[in-house]
A and B are shown apart, each in its own frame.
Chain A
Amino acid sequence: MSKPKVAFFDFACCEGCQLQVANLGEMVLDLIDIVDIVEFREVMSEKWDGEFDVSFIEGSITDEHAVERVKKIREKSKILVALGSCATIGGVNGMKNSFNLEEAGRYVYGEAYKFFPTIHTKAVHQVVRVDYFINGCPIYQPEFLTVLKCILKGLPYYVPEYPVCVECKLNENVCMYDRGLTCMGPVTKAGCNSWCINNGNICYGCRGLTINPNSQGFKDVLKKFGIPEDFLMKKIEMYNKCKELDES
């Protein structure tokens, strides 16, 4: 059986998730043992004209050109994977959606802004069908490998439906609420092994909201800790602004 042809494509993003793959160290060798990486622009010059068995899409869709390009990739790919927060939920790029696009452009580029046509930031599934989601900003390598193995074995991957707190408790961290801080852990999908909290920081919600968050309860918690609601809304916006497009 020939090895599946795998490609990596990037859109508006920091390319950190691709880098997480390149950063697998010696495991990269095991990886190319089982798959045939045919395009990976960040570290390879090879290009591939045929079909892709698996395409990893990194980054958000932020202009018409990107919409066309991702649609073409979809057509040529048997399986399409959204890689990282920018692709799965819009990520930090979504913060742009809170602004008037023209004004934002003008702020960064002055009058030249017209040469940078832009549209509201979209997650990949808001433009084309996505088969697998790998959340995180950046992706958590163990989860990437788990999903990859699922893909190769033709199995579905279920993104954990429970919050980061579950993993955080298992790591026996001191809860940020005990430290008087606001943490997005209770409303954020797990799967990162509570990476940030393990390292002394709070969870910023980069993996997206849990499927069934108790928003009222969360607001009450914030009230209890004396945290204004708009503060929280801003926090949610940091990664989850594009969710609005799902709902509308």
Chain B
Amino acid sequence: MSRNVNINVNYLTRVEGHGNIVVKIKDGKLDECKLEIVESPRFFEAFLRGRSIFEAPHITCRICGICSCGHTLASIQAAEDALGIKPTEQTTLLRKLLLHYEELDSHILHIYLLVAPDLLGVPSFVPLVKSHLNVVKRALKMKRLCNELCDILVGRHVHPISAVIGGFSKLPSTQDLEQMHGKLVELEKDMEDTVELFASLRFPEFERDTEYVGLINDEKEYPLLYGDIGSTDGYRVSKYDYKVVVNEFVVPHASAKRTKWHRESYAVGALARFNLNYEKLHPKAKEAATALNIKPKCINPYLNTVAQIVESVHCIEDAKSIIENIWQKGINYDEIVIPDINQKGAFPLRAGEGVGAVEVPRGLLIHHYECDERGIITGANCVIPTNQNTHNIELDMVDLIPKIMDKSEEEITLALEMLVRAYDPCISCSVHMIDLRID
């Protein structure tokens, strides 16, 4: 079969940020296949230099609006590491809670508004308002609840206000805890319906084995906020050695930096976490996994969405128990932290270097700062999940295209778009953007 197909998806939709898919099939053979990232670079790492390290979370969370809570937490971790600040137990609990909210919010957005339209054969949620009003209503309601959770805890979901270096600039009152718990219980019911809905939908079947990378640790809980970096190939290194993992290299066809560890490429994200830490999921999440027919090690990238659903169940349950835990302990309001800038010298300054490694919705996120003895940033580096996935996505496409070559151009395009979307790429995040277009 000799066929020429040119696919050029300019501005991939329903993903965060600007990316293109370019595929050329010549005489039935794959000639070119790349995922181009065309987001305008914003130079965060460059302009962080010279700013107080206490401003880093405020600035870097503006890398991406969808995972701004994740960036905040990674940034705080890196900065506290550099300054030698140890968070209190209460702070750690509340941060875990925030991270859960973040995963939930982002996953729900992705599952319902970005992926569900593909599975239901429409271009966006708008047509679903007619055909599946109750699904849309549920999605929007869940989204609202997630937002409200963040509003109560940190002021807002996009660019959280009260999560700062050293802890929180505002602590929830007992009524706040009650309210959050109530909202989580509400979400729980909707989540059950969500599992049911997605158990009935068909995802594309495609498998390709790869190395899945994410945080692992020796504790009982599903690691999200801290740990070492591990992989399904059995490796484990400290977060300080992240450069060994992300190992940037250049691919000839696009002369762009990519990442690999032990194989050609690796993947991060919900599926990676699921594969790495399945055992530590909440029992209810495991039940959901069974209902959704997914088990580790799952190597169908399309099922990243399903792993997100499983994780969402986990987050709801775990968030509930965190709140119950805080409830029992009572909140110590003396721990309220003066925001920003260390103006009151609340924390001693020192020259230092710190790394933050956090599992954000799309996978492993690393922030790395150096500062001088006045706490002024002298060097910064951020490694974004999407950067780590780009090469893996491309290799998936290379593997997938020959298998679906006989389909129509539209079908191929849709399959590829869905593949990219399954990874839930977050392209504005790519401050460290590495994909280039060279003529």
Contacts and interface: CB of A to CB of B under 8 A. Distances in A.
Contacts of B433: 109, 116
Contacts of A227: 343
B338 interface: yes
A101 B201 CA distance: 49
B159 A16 contact: yes
Interface string B158-182: 1101101000111000000000000
A138 B65 contact: yes
A137 B164 CA distance: 17
Contacts, number: 202
Interface residue tally on A, bucketed by range: 35 or more
Given A43-B124, A45-B14, A181-B344, A198 B155 contact: yes
Interface stretch (A7-15, A152-160, A162-170, A211-219): A7-15
Contacts of B338: 179, 181
Contact of A116 (B41, B44, B170): B41
Given A14-B68, A15-B66, A44-B13, A63 B40 contact: yes
B283 to A, nearest CB: 30
A50 interface: no
A196 B45 contact: no
B43 A201 contact: no
Contacts of B126: 32, 37, 44, 46
A73 to B, nearest CB: 13
A112 interface: yes
Nearest to A26: B140
Given A25-B140, A66-B40, A180-B344, A200 B158 contact: no
A201 B437 CA distance: 42
Nearest to A101: B43
A138 B168 contact: no
Contacts of A248: none
A139 B113 CA distance: 21
B147 interface: yes
A198 B151 CA distance: 11
A37 B257 CA distance: 37
Interface of B: 11, 13-18, 39-47, 49-52, 55, 58-59, 62-66, 68, 109, 113-114, 117, 123-126, 129, 136-137, 140-141, 143-144, 147, 154-159, 161-162, 164, 168-170, 255, 257, 336, 338-341, 343-344, 428, 431-434, 436-438
Given A95-B51, A137-B159, A199-B162, 7 more contacts: A25-B143, A43-B109, A44-B123, A91-B62, A104-B43, A109-B41, A179-B338
Interface of A: 10-20, 22-26, 28-29, 32, 37, 40-46, 59, 62-63, 65-66, 91-93, 95-96, 98-99, 103-105, 107-109, 112, 115-116, 118, 137-138, 179-182, 195-196, 198-202, 204, 227, 234, 238
